[in-house]
Amino acid sequence: MDLPLAAQVFDVLRIAPPSKLMLLEARALASAHVPPYPPDVPALLTNVDSRELALHLKDVLLTTYPKEHVVFVVEGEKKKEEKVETISGDDFSENTCLYVPALGEGTSFEAFAEIVAHLRAPNGCPWDREQTHETLRKHLLEESYEAISAIDSGDFLDMCEEFGDLLLQVVLQSQIANEEGQFNINQVVQGIYSKIVRRHPHVFGDLELEDVDGVLANWEKLKEKERGRKKDGKGLLDGVPLALPALSQAQEYQDRAARVGFDWPEIEGVLEKIAEEIEEVKRATDEKELADEIGDLLFALVNLARWKKVDAESALRGTNMKFKKRFGYVEQGARKQGRELSALPLDEMESFWQEAKKKES
C-alpha cells in the first residue's frame, strides 16, 4: 500500500485526506465487472498505466456511479477533472492515478446493513425490535408479489423501489438470525456466492457446455449430488416451494423432471395429451372427477407453455390484466350512457369489448 503516493495525490488535489479511503492498484480491477469496494467510500486507483486499462475502469465505474460523477486524474504535479463518462484513457501512464470521490450516504450494502442493525438495536425502532421470522413472513410474501407486479408493469422506478423493499426483508431476517446466533448476512452472501460458483463450472471452471439445455442438465446433476451429500431423503421435486402459485409450481416440476429425461420426445405428445384431457373433462360425471380432470388439463397446458418457452404464470397474469382493462372499458361505457352495467344486454357489452380490443392494436 503506497501511502506516500496517496498523500502526494491529495496534496496535488489540495484536499484533506479523507477519513476513509480505498487504495487499490488499478490492475486489481482488470478483470472486474463492478467496483470491488463500497461506493460510499472514496477510492484511489494507482498506476493506471494504459489507455486500455483506463477505458476498462470507465466501464466498471459506470456500472455503479452516475455518468456525470466527477473523478480526478492525477499524474505527478498535474491534475485534471473529468466526468466518468468522459474518461478517454489518453495520456495515461504507470504514474497516473484516478481519484474517485464517494457517492452519497447510504449507497453501499454495508451502510444498509448498518441501518437495519440500528433499527433492531436497543435505541432503535420499537416495531422492528419486536419482529420475528414468523411475524415478517407475510411482509416477505407481500413484498415479493409487489416486486413481481412492478416487473409486470414495466415501470423501472417502481421496480427499483420494490426491489429495495424486498432487500429490506432479506437483510432484516438475516439480522434477526444473527442476534439469535444462527447466521448473519455475510454468511447468506457467502452461501449464495459459493453456490453460484459451484453450479457454474462452465463459467468459473473448465467444463465445456454447448447450450442452455446443457447448462440446465448439468445444473440438475450438481443439485442431485448436493442432495446426496445431505442424505435427507429428499427427491428431485422436494426443493420446489409448496407456497408457489400453482402454475409456477407445475412448470417447475415439469422443468426439473425434463432435465433428467422425463419428458415427451416431441411436442406432438404434449398436444395429444391436451386433446385427451379435454375429452376426459367432457366425460366427467361428478364434481370431484371434474375437478381432477380440469387439474390434469391445466397441468398439460402448462407443459405446452414450457415446451414453447413461455412462463405460464406470467402469461396468465398478462391475460388477467388484459381482461381487467377491457372489462373496465365496458364498465366505463355503461357509465357514460348513465346505465347500470347489469342492465346492458350482452351484445352491447360485446360491442364495448371489441372497441377496447381495437384501442389496444
Overall average pLDDT of the 184-199 stretch: 94
**pLDDT category, 117, cuts 50, 70, 90?**
very high
pLDDT at residue 301 above 90? yes
pLDDT at residue 226 above 90? no
Query: Considering the chain, what is the average pLDDT of its residues?
Result: 92
Q: In this structure, are residues 24 and 37 in contact, taking their beta carbons and an 8 Å threshold?
A: yes
175: left (phi over 0), alpha (psi -120 to 50) or beta: alpha
CA distances from 67 to 34, 72, 105, 138 (A): 14, 14, 18, 39
pLDDT digits (tens, 9 = 90+) for 125-152: 999 999 999 999 999 989 998 999 899 8
pLDDT digits (tens, 9 = 90+) for 26-68: 999 999 999 999 999 999 999 998 999 999 999 999 999 999 9
**pLDDT category, 88, cuts 50, 70, 90?**
confident
Q: What SS3 state is found at 211?
A: coil
Q: In this structure, are residues 68 and 85 in contact, taking their beta carbons and an 8 Å threshold?
A: yes
Please compute Rg for the chain using Cα positions. 29
Whether the predicted model's global pTM rises above the 0.85 cut: no
Q: What SS3 state is found at 78?
A: strand
